[in-house]
Amino acid sequence: MTITIRQAQETAGTLSNPSKMPGKGTSTPASKCHTGSKLQNVPGSVCFGCYAMKGFYTFSNVQPALEKRYSAVMISKDTPEPWIAAMTTLIRRQEYFRWHDSGDLQGSWHLANIAEVARRTPETKHWIPTREYRMVKEFLANGGTIPENLTVRLSGHMIDGPAPEIGLPTSTVVTSDDATCPARFQDNSCGECRACWDSTVKNVSYHKH
């Protein structure tokens, strides 16, 4: 069944617009992160002083949008097809898409739904950074497969800490000048770089800022 953009937005919420990235995204409240919400209280963790718990994300016109997307995701746990169809409609024209510029996976079922959206949008390059290693492992153990156009990139928890090792692409945050992400040299923008969306890039290291 074909649905309109408006119908899709009523079901899944609007897309987000991550600053200085090459495409749209989707975001949910950082307070709903399972792992990240704990790390927010751990000095030295990447989530300590989380950017998504302050600034733009706290604006009164942003909070309802975050909550609507989160509610839609949670409804999709038991009835996934409306959300999958809605996100497919919203993303279809995007060349690059980032999942969760704020927020994270809510369960292995959530990753399964995202993977299905990616399969239905083969012309879009999808990237999802996540700290929910257990959920990813559960998804894979249950026979889940990651489409070629979806890069699931596991995020290291601690600044200058090791990358997770479960056989998927990773990202880390470092204080040294060895960071591979070029954003700090180009107005905090991706510019022409698409390494985060490229599953052949095994680790992307971001400079702490």
CB 194 within 8 A of CB 22: yes
Q: List, for residues 162-194, the tens digit of each pLDDT value.
A: 999 999 999 999 999 999 999 999 999 999 999
Q: With left for phi above 0 and alpha for psi between -120 and 50, is residue 199 left, alpha or beta?
A: alpha
158: DSSP letter: B
Does the pTM surpass 0.85? The reply is: yes
Point out which residues pair with 159 in neighbouring strands: none
Residues 42 and 83: their CA atoms lie apart, in Å, by 34
Arithmetic mean of pLDDT, 1-21: 92
Lowest mean pLDDT among 47-51, 68-72, 94-98: 47-51
Residues 136 and 166: their CA atoms lie apart, in Å, by 9
**Tally of residues, the chain:** 209
Q: What is the mean pLDDT of the chain?
A: 93
Residue 50 has pLDDT above 80, yes or no: no
Arithmetic mean of pLDDT, 28-57: 81
Q: List, for residues 99-134, the tens digit of each pLDDT value.
A: 999 999 999 999 999 999 999 999 999 999 999 999
